Structure 1
């Protein structure tokens, strides 16, 4: 008992000595979340369908006018050009009128911002599921029936693979995209949403970023004596 009291007293002393002031806020992590990783052209079509669904939900109260999707700028990446085509197809397939001219239409703008973060960012995997699986295996292993025990172990293994199969392997990509789609006229915005995605670092050029090993060179003109 005396030992417990001594520990409690020491803890109280440390807490009392803690500095209540700091020159800057302490850094804390955000709650655990997930973010899709684009690794194939089929993924581009998938996110275009999601964007189209969000837009149509937001536009239920908008004026009933055709949509005009802005042409990508000349410097647009392959991804931005493909996304524009995918969203056009998704709207047409859903029965919306997509105009080829801007007059009298709601304008749909698609902006893609490619970002490069630092390398070797930490990735924390959720820890609740392995605990639950371990408990399930322990409970099944306690049964006297070896068949049920084996079946339970296989089910737990399959459940583990099913859950963790959604997480990407390897380090966290340092390349990310912010895709913003807005619908407006000359007076106001009627819908606007942004989404963030990871991108495989080996596919950077598809999103308008240079390859990792690209170097910037400067050309000098050498002139001889006259």
Structure 2
């Protein structure tokens, strides 16, 4: 009995000692421990205006990257027939952005910088975790504090102002579940000898718009339950 009581006391002391500090991870593991990346933002494409914004962003990036390169016209080849509506539109919008900002865009590749646009559409597993808000009550409280300088004369006005601040903060985030579909857009500038500029950007895509980006629509759930069997008769 004494031995059992002593073991309980020792265990309690050990737990009490560990309560004030974090128990370190084991120093050895057969595989790397899975960690999350630091929180970052990624835009969701939901309109052709967003495509034009991408084209403008690409054009500005190319202009900055090529400041120290020889001045040449740009050439963008026509997208292949199997290109997605997004890829065809992005190519045309990039030509418009270049011309609008004073760059020369050639209709032939001779003596030009060639711009290649590669669009890779990727589908991830459904139900990916998304933590959008650091704390909704905090957002409301911050809105109230930020708006106290207005000195509202009525509590109703203060409530409306706080609600507006709350809506303003939350409007930044896309509604709904985390999209399964993402795009990787890579733009390269080169000639026959070398690359002069190259960058990649990733974007979310609304899953309902997958076909615009070259991904066929998913089959309805009931069709996945059907299976076709070939019946061979006796000879």
With the shorter chain as reference, the TM-score category is: 0.7 to 0.9
* Shift of residue 150, structure 1, vs aligned partner: 3.7
* Shift of residue 15, structure 1, vs aligned partner: 2.7
Question: Retained in 2: the 8 A contact 1:108–1:182?
Answer: yes
Matched position secondary structure for 2:23: helix
Question: Retained in 2: the 8 A contact 1:68–1:100?
Answer: yes
Segment drifting more, 65-74 vs 83-92: 65-74
Change over 3 Å in CA distance of 1:101–1:223 after alignment to 2: farther
After superposition, give the CA deviation of every residue in 1:80-133 in whole Å (9 maximum; x if it has no partner): 011000000100011100000000001000000000000000100131674253
Q: Which of 213, 218, 227 does residue 207 from structure 1 map onto?
A: 213
* Shift of residue 221, structure 1, vs aligned partner: 11
Change over 3 Å in CA distance of 1:138–1:58 after alignment to 2: closer
Question: Retained in 2: the 8 A contact 1:77–1:207?
Answer: yes
The answer to whether structure 1 residue 11 and structure 2 residue 38 are counterparts is no
After superposition, give the CA deviation of every residue in 1:193-226 in whole Å (9 maximum; x if it has no partner): 111111111111111111011779xx999999xx
* Shift of residue 151, structure 1, vs aligned partner: 3.3
Matched position secondary structure for 2:89: helix
Q: TM-score, normalised by structure 1?
A: 0.83
Question: Retained in 1: the 8 A contact 2:184–2:201?
Answer: yes
Match of 1:122 in 2: 129
Hey, what's the Cα distance between the residues in 2 that align with 1:10 and 1:97? Answer: 68
Unaligned 5+ segments in structure 2 are: 1-12
Question: Retained in 1: the 8 A contact 2:147–2:162?
Answer: no
* Shift of residue 76, structure 1, vs aligned partner: 1.0
Match of 1:20 in 2: 27
CA RMSD of aligned residues (A): 3.4
